[in-house]
Structure 1
Amino acid sequence: MKMPNDYKICNSCGEKVDVNANFCPSCKSQSFRTKAVIVRGSDEPVSLKHKLFYWNYDGEFVLSKSKLSAISIFLIFFISGLNTTIPAGYFTVSLIISAIIFLLGYLIHIIRGRPKDAVIHYNDYGLGTDIFHLFFFWQNKKTGEFVPSKTKIISFVIFIVFAILSLYRLSIYTLGSIVLFAVFFETPAFLIGYGIHKLTNPYPTNPKRIPPKEPKKMPKKEEPKAVKTAPKQPPEPEVIPKFVMYENKIEDLKAEYDAKEKVARELIEKRFTPPQITYTRFISVVDKATEVFNSEYSSAINILHLASEESPRIDSEIESKIAVLNSIIDKIEDLTNELVLSMDTSKDEDAKNLIDDMENLISSVKDYDDS
């Protein structure tokens, strides 16, 4: 049984976005796909698709490379054999090769054990999407994030080019021969790129996204000696260890916004003389942006301090608020840059358009919070 989740997935960057949002806070895309949480009762069977193409980790599924390879090899050679005089022989050979590939993959699967939870959670978006991620993306094993892979894209292009050459120039007409010929030229390029990837950047991240920081080690505070006349102060709420990472990130975003907002205000005062209408509008939008930013910041901190246990829903809500904070910071930074570049009064239009965008962003965030 599939139950609808409280978020959808951005088709452009893979970010989790609230189901009511009109655009992705990270990349501003308006193209989404829905993801369903699979909730199975004790008597409900696993779907055939998941049995054939996925590994099962306590009800959560990760695409299996060995299963996918075995099924693909079997189909390629079996279809090739249909055009020969010995289709039964091709069927037998393809079945044996596929079985060997699956058994080797299964052995590696057993030895490696369960992957990290982040890797598991960033899978099962649908068979087509998961295969697309496998062919064209690297997955960060620490965060689960998918990042486009130049190595995979280049090797795929090489595969297509030599597959076409084998089909039209070398007169190799069986599907298995075409694939083998193309793979022969693609494999060295992929292995070289894979080696470079492992040596230089084994945990890729999206450059547009601020990576989470490691939790800071807080020095132990010496407890003051008890004073009989002074009442004990209630202890500050403790944050779950996993959420310390979120708290540090949000605090860093707050400091970054305060610094950039101060610069923006100084530039507005230099650029426009009060009480001009333009000055009033610009300052008003910055005030609203600050109000919304502080509201989202306080809300996120309160959630972290009040949460009693880890939850995917809390993770999703905090990630959504961090994305909103990043969006507001980006708009303030864009406004600062436009003000610097348009100190001449004849170049006001770009700055005014940016103000319109900021007002739309603020309205969108407020509409979401009110819903």
Structure 2
Amino acid sequence: MTSQYKICNECGEKVDIDYNFCPNCKSQSFRQSNMPAKTRKSQPSIIHSLLYWNHDGEYVIAKTKVATIGVFLLFLFFALTDRDWLAAIALGAIFTVLTFSVGYGIHSYRGKPKDAVLENNDYGLIDDLKHFIFYWQNKNTGEFVLSKTKIISVALFVLLFIADGFVSHFDIFAMYVVAIIFTAPPFAVGCVIHKITNPNPTNPPHRIENKKPKEIKEVKKVETKAKAPQMDKTLIPEFENYKAKISTLNAEFDAKDKVARELIEKRFQPPQLTYTRFISLVDKSRKLFVRESESAMNILNLATEDSPRVDSEIKSKISMLKAIISKMDDLTNELVLTMDSADDGDVDVLIDDMEDVIGSIKDYK
């Protein structure tokens, strides 16, 4: 069964896959449950110096360095097996410097990767090379997605390399050149198609390849309205009053939820972090409200008699629903008051206040 949670990198807590921050420590740095914890390195290893780019202490596998070392090793092997080894070394040096220069120029032009990319690399050389060779990476979320283009290209390269060996009598250099010449065009076409049609791929919901992001992804808007569960026709007459109260509270929450979302849309723009956090908080409030509403209705539908214990539990649930609505009112009022404010400090305070509101709702449980 596929995991439906991710792991907070700060406190190690399991967090629902839909949440954008950890309820325990408020961190937005995650990894998926099947990924190892990323260890911070006080000093970079030799491997990091040779094969990674360093971005303020965050390491990302360097395609330029990997390609440069590959070219160097190829010509070194060619030099060791060729009679004119001096010419092979000279030619190898030229191609090695040229490969690094072109790659470094592209790297410098592109600049620092997005935070999500930095957070989702440096899992160890084997894992990073696997992602480099066989996966695309979503630049916005850091998610790794298996690439059909890369898999086909690698398979084609291997087949051509082996096939040419029988023709060239296993001349390694010739085998490599022929494989590259015939593999590069289809790979380039696949890359262009990928960039045009799906530059930021995602895995299907049922499969997770990687994710340890400091997540700044756009949160789905919850458009469906909270509904009270279907009532049983044999409801105890004494519970009819509770049924009416819960139905009224559902309608009231729907109205306030709609207003809050409209105010957030006007106050902030997706995919800003502030917008994402506010929408996440509202979504979480809705989940709590629907869960408590359904729980209350289930009690009413399943209870066989009106007892003090059932009566107390229903009143407690109704109090919870009222508390959630009250907190939604607080959020709406704060949004209205800060609608024309340009002070980031006000926004930060508002975020902290709403996170405290969510925490206080959870304390009712």
Aligned residue for 1:62, secondary structure, equals: strand
Residue 335 of structure 2 corresponds to none
Residue 219 of structure 2 corresponds to 213
RMSD: 4.7
Contact 1:152–1:190 (8 Å) recurs in 2: yes
Residue 183 of structure 2 corresponds to 186
CA distance in 2, matches of 1:132, 1:120: 16
User: What's the CA shift string for 1:67-115, capped at 9, x where partnerless?
Assistant: 1111111101211221111223212211110111111111222222222
Contact 1:139–1:147 (8 Å) recurs in 2: yes
User: What's the CA shift string for 1:222-277, capped at 9, x where partnerless?
Assistant: xxxxxxxxxxxxxxxxxxx625414424544664787799899999x99xx998xx
Contact 1:214–1:245 (8 Å) recurs in 2: no
Contact 1:78–1:91 (8 Å) recurs in 2: yes
Report the alpha carbon displacement of residue 133 of structure 1 after superposing the two structures with TM. 0.9
Give the counterpart letter for 2:203 in structure 1: N
Contact 2:264–2:278 (8 Å) recurs in 1: no
Contact 1:77–1:175 (8 Å) recurs in 2: no
Residue 36 of structure 1 corresponds to 39
Matches within 5 A, 1:352-367: none
Report the alpha carbon displacement of residue 172 of structure 1 after superposing the two structures with TM. 4.1
User: What's the CA shift string for 1:318-367, capped at 9, x where partnerless?
Assistant: xxxxxxxxxxxxxxxxxxxxxxxxxxxxxxxxxxxxxxxxxxxxxxxxxx
Contact 1:119–1:142 (8 Å) recurs in 2: yes
Contact 2:278–2:351 (8 Å) recurs in 1: no
User: What's the CA shift string for 1:31-78, capped at 9, x where partnerless?
Assistant: 54332012x3xxxx5432222112221222222111111111110121
CA distance in 1, matches of 2:288, 2:180: 50
1:248 and 1:30, CA in 2 relative to 1: closer, same or farther beyond 3 A? closer
CA distance in 2, matches of 1:307, 1:37: 29
Report the alpha carbon displacement of residue 202 of structure 1 after superposing the two structures with TM. 0.9
Residue 114 of structure 1 corresponds to 112
CA distance in 2, matches of 1:200, 1:220: 28
Matches within 5 A, 1:78-89: 78-89=76-87
Number of residues of Structure 1 aligned to a counterpart in Structure 2: 251
Contact 2:157–2:179 (8 Å) recurs in 1: yes
1:252 and 1:207, CA in 2 relative to 1: closer, same or farther beyond 3 A? farther
Alignment counterpart, residue 248 of structure 1, candidates 261, 276, 279:
279
Gaps of 5+ in 1: 1-11, 222-240, 276-290, 292-297, 299-303, 309-313, 315-371
Give the counterpart letter for 1:191 in structure 2: A
Gaps of 5+ in 2: 19-31, 209-214, 222-260, 267-271, 305-319, 321-326, 328-347, 356-365
Matches within 5 A, 1:319-330: none
Matches within 5 A, 1:3-152: 16=7, 31-38=34-41, 40=42, 46-152=44-150
Aligned residue for 1:156, secondary structure, equals: helix
Give the counterpart letter for 2:149 in structure 1: T
CA distance in 1, matches of 2:185, 2:195: 15
Aligned residue for 2:82, secondary structure, equals: coil
Contact 2:116–2:140 (8 Å) recurs in 1: yes
Contact 1:155–1:189 (8 Å) recurs in 2: yes
Residue 173 of structure 2 corresponds to 176
Which of 1 and 2 has higher RCO (CA within 8 Å, sep 6+)? Answer: 2
1:218 and 1:258, CA in 2 relative to 1: closer, same or farther beyond 3 A? closer
CA distance in 1, matches of 2:157, 2:4: 25
1:153 is aligned to 2:151 = yes
1:163 and 1:263, CA in 2 relative to 1: closer, same or farther beyond 3 A? farther
Identical-residue share of aligned pairs (%): 32
TM-score (norm 2): 0.54
Contact 2:136–2:144 (8 Å) recurs in 1: yes
Matches within 5 A, 1:267-282: none
Give the counterpart letter for 1:53 in structure 2: L
1:14 and 1:113, CA in 2 relative to 1: closer, same or farther beyond 3 A? farther
